[in-house]
Amino acid sequence: MKLLSGNSNLTLAKAIADYLDMPLTKASVRRFADEEIFVEIQENVRGEDVFVIQSTGYPANDNLMELLICIDALKRASARRITAVIPYFGYARQDRKPGPRTPISAKLVANMVTAAGADRVLSVDLHAGQIQGFFDIPTDNLFAAPVMSADLLARFSGRNLMVVSPDVGGVVRARALSKRLGNAPLAIVDKRREKPGESEVMNIIGDPAGRFCILVDDIVDSAGTLCNAAAALREAGAEDVVAYVSHGVLSGGAVARVEGSVLTELVVTDSILAPPAVAEAKKIRQLTIAPLLAEAIKRIADESSVSSLFD
């Protein structure tokens, strides 16, 4: 087994390698003057089971091309099996046609990863579960819920907890976390989105009065939805509001928006490398998913059950 990392999240890749007590494969991933990406594997990988660790967050297109070229380089170097480990799968929000003459880009990206030569895909909290079906190769979708629930129980056990989904589509995710927190009560924020990047809270289904509310979601991008939901929960009598999100995209003015919101804290995983603004933010904290990914990689390499990680 070998681990190869692109440049998107070298910190996470090194943490996974440390957990597995093995080095990252020596490779050169660099750019020519015109920004073309060039990859050179500097170790023999013939007949090896290789895991390529590369999130496809900002800059999404550069990181995606890095992943594809790494896979192609390994394929041409006669690797026995190539698993694309994509902690954050970019383009996942484009998983359907929201209107006429629009693409389903998540399916296109799945086709590209398969065509490049990947034999398997490993990701964390895909935006929609059906994206697994976009791939024609085995795909494992890991859940960050065990990492989040362990952190929540360590810090807030004994509080009057309530798990809140910021939209109707995230109810399954919220229910899964609720179950891990001893079947904490559930609430849903019903919102109407007038246009992309903006959200308007309309109603809260459930009674958050006097509760310690935990907003849970898979992606935080502009943070408008989370901040609006937190404000609505506080207005409805919530004692406190924290947010736990799998992927901290946090683009544009998201960090400033979180810092100025009523949220006590936003907790994200390290599936995406934190830029300096996120690392320095007082209200934003990162949880590592390196042990979760490392255990899944170990089980795939050993041909043992990955799903048992969540039993």
Mean pLDDT of 58-66: 96
Q: CATH assignment of 145-288?
A: 3.40.50.2020
Are the beta carbons of 142 and 293 closer than 8 angstroms?
Answer: yes
Taking the C-alpha atoms of residue 122 and residue 204, their distance in angstroms, rounded to an integer, is: 35
* 190/208: higher pLDDT: 208
Catalytic site positions: 191
Residue 73 buriedness (CB in 10 A; 0-12 / 13-18 / 19+): buried
Q: Which residues are annotated as a binding site?
A: 34-36, 93-94, 127, 167, 193, 217, 221-225
How far apart CA 207 and CA 294 sit, in angstroms, is: 39
Q: What is the pLDDT of residues 105-163, one digit of tens each?
A: 999 999 999 999 999 999 999 999 899 999 999 999 999 999 999 999 999 988 999 99
Where along the chain do its domains lie? 2-142, 145-288
The predicted model gives 48-76 an average pLDDT of: 97
Question: Is domain 2-142 annotated with CATH 3.40.50.2020?
Answer: yes
Confirm if 188 and 207 have CB atoms less than 8 A apart.
no
Q: Mean pLDDT of all residues in the chain?
A: 94
Residue 264: what pLDDT?
96
pLDDT in tens, 5-16: 999 999 999 999
Residue 254 has pLDDT above 70, yes or no: yes
145-288 has the same fold as 2-142: yes
Q: Is the pLDDT of residue 193 over 90?
A: no
Detail the residues annotated as belonging to a binding site for D-ribose 5-phosphate.
193, 217, 221-225
Judge if pTM exceeds 0.85.
yes
Say what the pLDDT of residue 123 is: 97
Q: Span 277-305, mean pLDDT?
A: 95
